[in-house]
Amino acid sequence: MGGIILALLVILAVLVITTLAKTIKIIPQARVGIVERFGKFQSKRDPGLNAVIPFVDKVRYMIDMREQVVAFAPQPVITEDNLTVSIDTVIYFQVNDPVAATYEIANYIQAVEQLTMTTLRNIVGGMTLEETLTSREQINSGLSIVLDEATGRWGIKVKRVEIKSIDPPMSIKDAMEKQMRADRDKRAAILTAEGQRQSAILSAEGNKQSAILNAEGQRESQILAAQADREAAILRAQGEGQAIQTVFQAIHDGRPDQSLLAYQYLQMMPKIAEGDANKVWIVPSEIGKALEGLGSTMNSLKGIPDDVEGPLKRVDMGSSEPALDLEKSSSAAAAVEEALAEAKEAEAPNRPQAAPPAPPTQPDQPAQPPADPTV
């Protein structure tokens, strides 16, 4: 009897535990439970601890209310220019109505995938390959609009549609790479040519400026050389003029006569004998008579008197100093005098200056009579 009672107690405990397990349901956060009673929708339960009628109500579905991301396999799509491209898509969606997502469609993920593929074929079918590769935003917006309209009755909200990759055929890839390489080579060649052009222009400008500067330098150099030659020629001419004046003045001061000319002739005779062509020089035996004849010959020269008498007369030939720039010379002399004065003052600032020496007395010269106009 005691064993039967114990068995009944055990069975009762098991029934109680089972009933409690069927009654209490824990729904996780961000999920919604769909409760059915005898196979019919009864209610939806929010996250947390929920109690249902055991053996009558059942939590049939657990719907995830978070935003979900689904990446679909690449699908072949034909473009307007009859080229097949492979497109990968990514869908971001969220369940807004768990009841509609459960009972309005059997598998909403598969439905979204198929709807995405059909819509993508419609959009890309009206574009060329070039437009398809460069119009990702346009394709994304078209897909989002169509999917949002179609999935609204399923209790699903499509947040965003992204094109992950667009892969054209290998032959098209090779052609595009060749075209891209050709374009890059073309741009590189153009840039190289532009660089060479700019370099040539800059080199030509530099050569032009260099030639101009060299020409200007040569011009200035030639001008300075010509000025130097001119001043040198002027100085040489002035020197020769001064020499001629000095010789002319010395001749007048020496009062030449026939004896002087005879003496000069005798001095020239050894020089005549020094010539390389004069191999033989004959000296006359009667040298005295030859000199007398030379003197008689010199007496016949017109304009030269035999004997000069009277006082010495100097002929004024002008200034013996070369012609210089008076302003420059006067300024230079003044600067030199000032420098010398400053130097003397610096050496002996307290020493009294000595009186200037008296000019030397010159012997009285006899008065010269007026020049004879016949001389």
82 and 159 share one domain: yes
Residue 369 in domain: no
62: left (phi over 0), alpha (psi -120 to 50) or beta: beta
* Through-space distance between the first and last CA atoms of the chain, rounded to whole angstroms: 195
Boundary residue ending a domain (168, 198, 229): 168
Work out the pLDDT band at 322, boundaries 50, 70, 90. very low
Domain co-membership, 121 together with 157: yes
**Residue at 193 is within a domain:** no
Q: For 175, what's the count of Cα atoms within 13 Å in the CB-facing half-sphere?
A: 7
81 and 35 in one domain? no
Of the listed ranges 13-17, 190-194, 224-228, the one predicted with least confidence? 13-17
Q: What are the tens digits of pLDDT across the range 151-173? A: 888 888 888 888 888 888 888 88
Question: Is residue 322 situated within a structural domain?
Answer: no
Give the model's confidence band at 8: pLDDT under 50 very low, under 70 low, under 90 confident, else very high.
confident
The Cα diameter of the chain in Å comes to 207
C-alpha–C-alpha distance, residues 132 and 126, integer Å: 9
- pLDDT reported for residue 246: 86
- Looking at the predicted structure, is the pLDDT value of residue 136 above 80? yes
Per-residue pLDDT for 291 more than 60? no
Mind listing the pLDDT tens digit for each residue in 206-259?
Answer: 999 999 999 999 999 999 999 999 999 999 999 998 888 888 787 777 666 666
Is position 15 within any domain?
no
pLDDT band per the 50, 70, 90 thresholds, residue 340: low
If asked whether residues 74 and 56 sit together in one domain, one would say no
**Same domain for 57 and 114?**
no
d(CA 92, CA 71): 9
More confident residue, 159 or 290: 159
Beta bridge partners of 76: 86
Domain that holds residue 27: 22-63
Provide the number of structural domains found in the chain: 2
Checking if the pLDDT of 371 tops 70, the result is no
Q: Give the number of other CB atoms < 10 A from CB of residue 350.
A: 4
Q: What is the CA radius of gyration of the chain?
A: 67
Whether residues 38 and 124 fall in one domain: no
Q: Say if residue 247 is exposed, middle or buried (CB neighbours under 10 Å; 0-12, 13-18, 19+).
A: exposed
> 32 and 45 in contact (C-beta within 8 Å)?
yes
